[in-house]
Amino acid sequence: MAAKKKSGGRKKSSSRKSSARKSSRSGGRKSAAKKGGRKSSRRKSSSSGKKRTPNAAFMKPMQPDAELSNIVGSSPMPRTEVTKKLWGYIKRKGLQDQKNRRMINADENLRPIFGRNQVSMFEMTRLVNKHLRNT
């Protein structure tokens, strides 16, 4: 009777191993890839630990030209502040396209800066930088 239990136990364990092998062949790779991605992102955030310091080039005061000063003001300010004030103007005037929110519709003050009637938000900063000069 004891011999039957041992042989019976062996059959069950071998069937478990084969099912474990099958699952490790098909799903093991996918789950390993997902886990690897999670671990790398955790490493990046935990390894930095320190607070990011702003790039000095972004914080350098720039002088807006006459066309841009109508919108953001004439005093020298960093490019980040220029972008914030420009977005404030766009939101205040409702110049964001209603269907495609990435696009900005230019009004009479923005047309000289953008050079056309509609610009994407990603192009906007590049076009605005042409209207800034070092102080």
Q: Where are the domains of the chain?
A: 60-134
Structure tokens at 22: 């099958």
What CA–CA distance (Å, rounded) separates 118 from 125? Answer: 14
Name the CATH topology of 60-134: MDM2 (1.10.245)
Average pLDDT by consecutive 10-residue portion of the chain (135 residues)?
Answer: 56 54 53 55 59 84 94 94 95 96 95 95 93 92
Q: What is the pLDDT of residue 56?
A: 84
Contact 60, 78 (CB under 8 A): yes
Q: What is the pLDDT of residue 72?
A: 95
**CA distances in angstroms from 111 to 4, 56, 81, 129, listed in the order given:** 89, 30, 20, 15
Quote the Cα angle for 51-55-61, to 5°.
130
